[in-house]
């Protein structure tokens, strides 16, 4: 969990930390364009071959003229959870045998497109996939932007809830 | 006295009895006094006639006493030549005894009438109570507090419990009207008061029926009992539950609205600020700026759609709404 203003920086910090510990990352982005994120990562010295994107917003924003990106799967609509699930599974398969971590940025921006109960089910689905494959996952969210009941449900799917502002474990 | 009175209650029998006794008295007067010259002793028999007359006809019997006294004095004084004082004393005794018995009889009659009136009143009152007990729309059960057995139940209580009165009377109260365990009676064992308290009643199927109950100690036939009165509040509970569910749904919609409207607007606002900062710093190409702004515009469109979707759900879920308001909320 992070503050609304700090969540973008946390994305980069967490990815850097993961890459430094030899992780490959599947970045599921529902708020920022993958191309912009990639540029930011390059700027921070994050090796592009270690990042795989599932971009749910570029096509949605009509960004058809953007140059094609390596290791990036585009979804036409961020509300299409089926396509998002398929893209995640394909990315996991592609990284099979590698130390992989999934980063979902962010649950709050997903709420623009999807009702909370569908998000809860989707997160449950993704966490189950990760557990089965023995993979790591990070789900970013702004604490104040989510109903405590939904948050408490989401908390039951994960191993630990960390406040990234203080880096203290909450759960 | 009552049996005696009853056996002679017939008016004609009374008059006949008095006539026979009067004839015997007159006969004794003539035989004993006039012919045999005995002036005392036989007159004791007169009291039988006078007492009976006084009991039955009260002070009217004094007339008979005066007649007998006059006859006795007349026979004794004018024919036998006896002392007027002794005769007058005997005659006076006839009248005095008759008067006293008449007064006592009148008092007795008055008491009897009073008793009868009181009995009538009690009977009427009992009848009224019975009507109230059977027609009141509140369940009433009377419990014997020492054994906790039910001694009476009214029709509403019988209907709620669901078995005939014979199957309720004699049963322990915690089988039906109070689910507390034996030895844990809230009134007699725990000393609690039950006054308009929400409780449950167990019907014959063991189903719990919500009730509002009041328990009042009362004395019936000189013994302490517990009068338990209760009202079925199943419908009220259903309404409360419905209201609670409706409130929960309202809160659910408000929460969902907060998550899908307030937070996204904040996200878009923050994104626009960061885009603005990026443009100033020259972080983005022309194409990237267009895509970023298009995305935020799409986000705003989606937020508007979310508002419409939530409005539609609210309109379809909550009560009546005018077509104009429905159109305004959903289009």
Q: What is the pLDDT of residue B2?
A: 47
The model's pLDDT over A12-24, given as tens digits with 9 standing for 90+, comes to: 888 998 999 999 9
The model's pLDDT over B24-45, given as tens digits with 9 standing for 90+, comes to: 988 887 888 777 877 778 888 8
Cβ of A65 within 8 Å of Cβ of B271? The answer is: no
Cβ of A147 within 8 Å of Cβ of B255? The answer is: yes
Which residue in chain A has the smallest CA separation from B287?
Answer: A66
Nearest to A111 among B260, B270, B292 (CB): B260
The model's pLDDT over B229-286, given as tens digits with 9 standing for 90+, comes to: 999 999 999 999 988 988 888 888 888 888 888 888 888 998 899 899 989 988 888 8
Cβ of B260 within 8 Å of Cβ of A112? The answer is: yes
Contacts from A73-80 at CB under 8 Å and sequence distance 24+?
A: A74/A34, A77/A113, A78/A30, A78/A109, A78/A110, A78/A112, A78/A113, A78/A114, A79/A113, A79/A114, A79/B302, A80/A56
Q: Is pLDDT above 60 for B163? A: yes
The model's pLDDT over B128-162, given as tens digits with 9 standing for 90+, comes to: 988 998 899 899 999 998 888 999 999 999 998 88
**Which is higher by pLDDT, B206 or B228?**
B228
Residues of chain B positioned with their CB less than 8 A from the CB of A33 = 288, 291-292, 295
The full 3-state SS of B61-87, as one line of letters, equals HHHHHHHHHHHHHHHHHHHCCCCHHHH
The model's pLDDT over B60-90, given as tens digits with 9 standing for 90+, comes to: 889 989 998 888 888 778 777 777 888 888 8
Q: Is pLDDT above 70 for A170? A: no
The distance of A96 to chain B (nearest Cα, Å) reads: 32
The model's pLDDT over B88-128, given as tens digits with 9 standing for 90+, comes to: 888 898 899 999 999 999 999 899 999 999 999 999 988 99
Which residue in chain A has the smallest CA separation from B251?
Answer: A147
Q: What is the pLDDT of residue A2?
A: 61
User: What string of DSSP letters covers A15-35?
Assistant: HHHHHHTT-EEEEEESSS-HH
- Which residues are A138's β-sheet partners? A103
**Peptide bond before A106: cis, by omega within 30 degrees of 0?**
yes
């Amino acid at each position: 969990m992070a503050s609304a203003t700090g969540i973008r920086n946390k994305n980069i910090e967490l990815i850097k930390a993961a890459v430094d510990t030899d992780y490959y990352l599947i970045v599921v982005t529902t708020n920022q364009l993958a191309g912009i994120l990639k540029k930011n990562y390059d700027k921070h010295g994050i090796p592009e071959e270690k990042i795989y994107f599932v971009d749910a917003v570029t096509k949605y924003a009509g960004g058809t003229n953007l140059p094609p990106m390596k290791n990036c799967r585009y979804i036409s609509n961020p509300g299409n959870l089926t396509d998002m699930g398929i893209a995640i599974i394909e990315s996991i398969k592609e990284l099979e045998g590698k130390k992989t971590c999934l980063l979902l940025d962010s649950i709050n921006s997903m709420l623009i497109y999807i009702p909370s109960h569908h998000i809860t089910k989707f997160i449950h689905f993704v966490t189950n996939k990760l557990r089965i494959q023995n993979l790591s996952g990070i789900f970013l969210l702004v604490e104040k932007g989510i109903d405590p009941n939904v948050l408490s449900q989401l908390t039951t799917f994960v191993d630990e809830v960390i406040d990234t502002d203080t880096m203290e474990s909450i759960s | 006295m009552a049996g005696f009175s009853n056996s002679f209650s017939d008016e004609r029998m009374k008059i006949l009895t008095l006539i026979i006794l009067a004839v015997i008295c007159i006969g004794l007067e003539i035989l004993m006094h006039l012919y045999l010259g005995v002036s005392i002793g036989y007159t004791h028999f007169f009291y039988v006639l006078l007492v009976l007359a006084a009991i039955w006809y009260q002070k009217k019997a004094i007339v008979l006493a005066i007649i007998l006294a006059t006859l006795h004095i007349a026979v004794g004084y004018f024919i036998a030549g006896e002392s007027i004082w002794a005769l007058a004393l005997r005659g006076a005794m006839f009248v005095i005894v008759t008067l006293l018995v008449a007064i006592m009889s009148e008092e007795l009659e008055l008491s009897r009438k009073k008793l009868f009136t009181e009995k009538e009143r009690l009977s009427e009152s009992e009848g009224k109570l019975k009507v109230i007990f059977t027609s009141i729309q509140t369940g009433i059960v009377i419990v014997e507090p020492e054994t906790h057995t039910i001694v009476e139940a009214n029709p509403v209580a019988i209907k709620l419990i669901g078995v005939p009165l014979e199957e309720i009377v004699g049963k322990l109260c915690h089988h039906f009207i109070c689910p507390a365990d034996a030895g844990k009676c809230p009134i007699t064992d725990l000393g609690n008061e039950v006054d308009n308290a929400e409780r449950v009643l167990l019907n014959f199927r063991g189903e719990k029926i919500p009730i509002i109950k009041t328990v009042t100690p009362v004395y019936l036939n000189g013994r302490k009992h517990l009068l338990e009165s209760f009202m079925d509040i199943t419908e009220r509970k259903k309404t409360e539950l419905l209201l609670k569910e409706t409130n929960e749904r309202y809160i659910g919609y408000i929460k969902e609205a907060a998550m899908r409207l307030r937070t996204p607007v904040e996200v878009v606002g923050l994104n626009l600020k960061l885009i603005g900062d990026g443009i100033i710093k020259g972080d983005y190409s022309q194409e990237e700026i267009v895509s970023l702004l298009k995305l935020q515009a799409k986000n705003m469109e989606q937020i508007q759609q979310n508002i419409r979707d939530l409005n539609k759900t609210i309109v379809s879920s909550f009560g009546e709404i005018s077509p104009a308001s429905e159109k305004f909320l959903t289009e």
